[in-house]
Chain A
Amino acid sequence: MKNKYILWGLLLLGLSEPALAVPSFARQTGQDCAACHIGSYGPQLTPYGMKFKMGGYTESDGKEGHIPISAMLVQSFTNTKKDQTEDPAPHFKTNNNASLQEVSVFVAGRVNDNIGGFSQITWSEPDRKTTMDNFDLRFVKPMQIAGNDTIFGISLNNNPTIQDPFNTTPGWKFPYLGSELAPTPAAGQMIAGGLETQVLGATAYTLYDNHWYAELGGYQSFSKNMLNKMNIDPADKISGTSPYWRVAYFNDMHKSAYSVGLFGLSTHILPGREAGPTDKYTDIGIDGSYQFLGTREHVMTVDGSYIHENRKLDASFASDPAIKRNGTVNRLDLSTSYHYDKTYGLTAGFFDITGNKDSVLYEDLVADSGSRTNSPNSRGYTLQADWTPLGKENSWGAPFANMRLAVQYTGYTKFNGAKKDYDGLGRNASDNNTLYTSIWFAL
């Protein structure tokens, strides 16, 4: 039974989204936020922003004295259609919660032409503690191969896909910011935040001829001692090294851009960090994106990904044979956005989660989070409208003052296996429909 809760913990880890807005990069490059970000605000990258990231965050305006420090604050409000059965976190109510969701400080910038990166320290009101958040530190070496521009790079990071330059992998797909106080579907995938901040990864990558991107590396768990120093609660441990790989084709045509790719992660987990059999997760994803940029007055994007996760839960099965040894979780994400004048944005997203039934992982009669049908199948949509008044070339306070105001609505047509009475206690999928508003500052 202990392993069941470990698995739940792992699954729920996948619900958090990294939120990044790093104006010190704008100060370093002399660019406005809109050059790198769709809608003038992170994290959705333009082709220019993708190249800046693949270039190791090292590009600069050539001037000295830039201070590589940024800060970020997110204040949010969450309303669900029906009150939750229990408080979603200590000090919060069963509904209508205002939350100082994140206060972050970044060290973000270049060291020299070959070294750059960011690291984030975050305090959040739901967690009520300060922890080491995401980091991505890079070494890059630009060169010419067969007369074509080529970048070789190495990334040290603590969350698989956080180093990815595209807007489609779990670390960076829409929604870029969401509630941490609303119910979310039970099933997550290992590559989608299951290892976030618990691991150290080293990946080597290359961008050849500005088109071909390939990356290969591996992740190992931090020691308990190191996690304690970073104020992170130790979760399960990777047995050995988890290989991560990524290939993509990218074409930036200035007026538009597209990418297609494949990626994957294979992880053997020791539940509870105890020696013995492992739970094996193999994730393989396919993704694609298109951006119409035009004159930057009307910008439209389409992003999509499909990830298949295969599970062989030998460790969990050994401790609780009620858990199915073999299983799957699949997730489809599609989103499209339109931004006007780099200021006003509308985004619509669709998600569909499917997987095998399991009476232990998706248990009946657990209020709000259980499944009467023992199924993880969930489906829904997210709509967002946002206003980003700053972050352009001639904006007030640029490049220091940045703000985004957003209203987001997430609707569920199926939740943990059913539309009606999904938890066996009378809760419907639509009862979890969530209205989420946020105001996001960065400087």
Chain B
Amino acid sequence: MEKAKISAYQLFILIVLFELGSALLVPIAIEAKQDAWLAILIGMVGGFCLYLVYHGLYSYYPDIPPTEYLQKIMGSFLGKILAFIYVLYFIYLSARVLRDFGEMLITSFYWDTPLFILNTLMALLVIYTVRKGIEVLARTSELLFVLIFLLGISVLFLIVVSGIIQISNLKPVLEEGIKPVLKTTFTQTLYFPFGEVIIFAMILPYLNRPAKVKQIGLLAIGFSGLILASVMAINVSVLDVNNITRSPFPLLSTIQTIEVAGFLERLDVYFILITVIGVFFKMCLFFYASVVGTANLFKVKESARLAFPLGLAILILSITIASNYSEHIKEGLHVITLYLHLPLQVIIPSLLLLIAFIKNKKKKRKQSKNLFPKRKYRLVERDKK
């Protein structure tokens, strides 16, 4: 582990930017139709529970990353295999985010530029940032968060002023009952984007004030959940459910409909800036976790040396991951959720927490047993005197 420290505020910003990252890009929870915002909010509550599980594990082992405490909980052999699977999972998700970014640019703006070139540019930037370390990433997030915040407020203002919001598009609420909403939550929004905070299990040991981890994490997930739900509600109210299901990037379509005073239009650059910044941080965090995890697992002293080769692996994987965008999205929403997100974000961490709880209870009992005879001995000695 590198000797670095980040503040609680920086952790808050990193979580918010991470959550917003690619979730703003794709139409999440659209299976719930006009209740998508509700599915996101319920997913956020699930995200709180998952974060509490990760925090529980962190509270047992506050100074070491998951790749190390997995070995302490599960034993050396099984722990190493699990840690390796987690590292692969982080790299794979990083490649998926990179592909999202490349596809977004190609579909909407750079029609003639090859995907490989766009992905290479982003990958090189991410490699450079990860080589510099978590402190640099955290300070960069502080700077760019202000920009994203200002952009978000101005977009919201322009959407409201241009009068394109039609609240009637959000009605009827719960048209087919709560069942489709819950189904969307438990098959999608719980894992993407909220369950992905598992990555912060690798970042939490760097926090300078461990007492604030729980509070800051929950606050950040709540804040980003509210932003995502309101963005989705605005998208539905502006575009209608039918248009959103056909649109690959609903936020872009919403921004494209802005027209104020007959001249303030074609504000696509807002979308580009917001998503590029978000995707950059999401990818950086996934990549950083995988580099630190690999270095920890294979006992590499300078983790920065792994950044370039692993970055290259991510770049190649982002190209080979799917043959087209629809396959990429289908794989992300149906296969990855069931076979990767569910076991690695929910089942395994919950089991680990249970095992850690039992192990620590046994340890405490042993400690108290060891302490008791000494105390008894002391009391006998005192009585003799």
Whether A and B are associated in the same complex: the answer reads no
